Structure 1
Amino acid sequence: MSMVEQSLGQLARSIPGATQVFHEYELDFCCGGKKSLAEAAAQRSLDAAQIEARLIALAQNASPETDWGLASPAELIDHILERYHEVHRQQLPELIRLALKVEQVHADSPDCPTGLADHLRVMQQELESHMQKEEQVLFPMLARGHGAMATMPIRVMRMEHDDHGVALERLLALTNGVTLPRAACNTWRALYLGIRTFKEDLMAHIHLENNILFENAAGPAEPPAMQRTVG
């Protein structure tokens, strides 16, 4: 199967650096990860062959990095908790603080992202609720190898991931695609840099869960000696 026929999720989990290419072309590899590269490119009037060439070059020059598709559910969950759940909890309060300052100081500017702080607060509340459900209910089940029993919680988490995707679209709309105006102050620059990082982190986070952790959940349970609990 050629790369253009493979799904964005497959490519994102098999080629190191593919997610950055998808960010550049604004292709949704997390919530929209089941679409083929050809289909996703066509929807955005992009040249799939050009994107495929970038991915082939990455695959040929890839440096070794952790293949989370080969990790146990417990190992992947530990990574998600440390790299994404805790990081989001650090990112959002600072982004809200910066957004409030920009909105207050630049209220008269036509480029002012009015409503951004409120939207970030809503995202913080929704994401915190979502992460707590994963940490308290779903992740302990998956870490113990009980993925076959987790069909309904996984379905709910996938739906909430779709909601996060909609919230990201709203975030992009409020910030003009995270594009700074010419006269942006340092606070504004720090805000948009942080939003860009948060967006990329959240998409990578959802990708690992949707396309790897949840996809593998129906597989065989780990041997007892390998089972771990979420701390």
Structure 2
Amino acid sequence: MPAIDRNATVAEIVTAHAVTARIFQKHRIDFCCHGDVSVAEACRPRALDPDTVFAELEASLPQANGDEDPRALSTFALVARIVDRHHAYLRRTLPFLEPLAHKVASVHGDHNPRLLGVRDAFLELAAALEPHLDHEEAVLFPALLSPAPDREILRKELEGMMSDHLQVGALLERIRALSEGFTVPEWGCRSYRVLMSELETLETDVLRHVHLENHVLMPRFAGRATAEARG
């Protein structure tokens, strides 16, 4: 098993070793929209010891279970993975979580007012994600897979995608902060526990989804000739 490249960016490490995403997520290190920094740079604002983080990253490698390198996928296969795995997950999960977030906020909001903020941030997240998925499937992905893609359209669409991702990342961070890291107090009911667990799973999936789009899909088209970039 190859060691972690200590000169690589956070995003490059996750691309090469998908299993390391959970370590960065645990330490609230952004490997998606702000992943183009070294581990040492990412650790500085959080007062983390880079050597300790690298030790955790390297300890996670045996758990990779032969994860496929997404860079080896054709563009068509990569888009299909994003739609079939990540878009499908969100289309199932967002409608399930909405009534649950309302219920937990209604029942326990007086005891823990932060739950009202969790509910509101989740509703904002769902309102941002649902049209984003539709637009990617109807406009962005067909443009990327076109035999003769228009560079100006691609530029505008990729800029829009990045803007959406920044908004989503900020909302995920807000939900994590308001939920105090998805913790459940001793008095939390089953619905409370399910909501926190599902929100953490949602965060995990969305971060990996955004990482694939920002750091595997987008570089095939941004800043290079379209004819050379298609997978």
Q: 2:103 aligns with which of 81, 96, 101?
A: 101
Q: How does 1:52-67 map to 2 (within 5 A)?
A: 52-59=54-61, 62-67=64-69
Alignment-derived partner of residue 168 in structure 2: 164
Native 8 Å contact 2:18 2:67 kept in 1: yes
Alignment-derived partner of residue 138 in structure 1: 140
Larger fraction in helix: 2
Question: Is the alpha carbon distance of 1:148 and 1:111 closer, same or farther for their aligned partners in structure 2, counting shifts above 3 Å?
Answer: same
Native 8 Å contact 2:75 2:217 kept in 1: yes
Task: Read off the aligned partner of 1:9 and give its amino acid letter.
Answer: A
Deviation string for 1:176-200 (max 9, x for gaps)? 2211112110000000000000001
Deviates more, 1:84-93 or 1:173-182: 173-182
Q: Once the 2 structures are TM-superposed, how far is the Cα of residue 56 of structure 1 from its aligned partner?
A: 2.9
Alignment-derived partner of residue 206 in structure 1: 210
The separation in 2 between residues aligned to 1:173 and 1:138, in whole angstroms, is 32
The separation in 2 between residues aligned to 1:117 and 1:145, in whole angstroms, is 43
Q: Does 2:211 match 1:195?
A: no
SS of structure 2 residue aligned to 1:5: coil
Question: Is the alpha carbon distance of 1:57 and 1:119 closer, same or farther for their aligned partners in structure 2, counting shifts above 3 Å?
Answer: closer
Q: Once the 2 structures are TM-superposed, how far is the Cα of residue 25 of structure 1 from its aligned partner?
A: 1.4
Native 8 Å contact 2:19 2:63 kept in 1: no
Deviation string for 1:59-113 (max 9, x for gaps)? 4664322111111111011000011111111111211111111112123213650
Identical-pair percentage: 31
Alignment-derived partner of residue 6 in structure 1: 8
SS of structure 1 residue aligned to 2:37: coil
Alignment-derived partner of residue 89 in structure 2: 87
Alignment-derived partner of residue 123 in structure 1: 125
Q: Which 5+ residue runs of structure 2 have no aligned equivalent?
A: none
Provide TM-score, normalisation by structure 1: 0.88
The separation in 2 between residues aligned to 1:29 and 1:54, in whole angstroms, is 16
The separation in 1 between residues aligned to 2:148 and 2:204, in whole angstroms, is 30
The separation in 2 between residues aligned to 1:146 and 1:179, in whole angstroms, is 49
Native 8 Å contact 2:220 2:229 kept in 1: no
The separation in 1 between residues aligned to 2:148 and 2:66, in whole angstroms, is 30
- RMSD over aligned Cα, in angstroms? 2.2
Native 8 Å contact 1:3 1:52 kept in 2: no
Question: Is the alpha carbon distance of 1:145 and 1:216 closer, same or farther for their aligned partners in structure 2, counting shifts above 3 Å?
Answer: farther
Aligned length: 223
Q: Once the 2 structures are TM-superposed, how far is the Cα of residue 170 of structure 1 from its aligned partner?
A: 1.5
Q: Once the 2 structures are TM-superposed, how far is the Cα of residue 53 of structure 1 from its aligned partner?
A: 2.1
Alignment-derived partner of residue 38 in structure 2: 36
Task: Read off the aligned partner of 2:208 and give its amino acid letter.
Answer: A
Q: 1:20 aligns with which of 22, 26, 38?
A: 22
The separation in 2 between residues aligned to 1:59 and 1:98, in whole angstroms, is 35
The separation in 2 between residues aligned to 1:3 and 1:60, in whole angstroms, is 16
Q: Once the 2 structures are TM-superposed, how far is the Cα of residue 174 of structure 1 from its aligned partner?
A: 2.2
Q: How does 1:45-56 map to 2 (within 5 A)?
A: 45-56=47-58
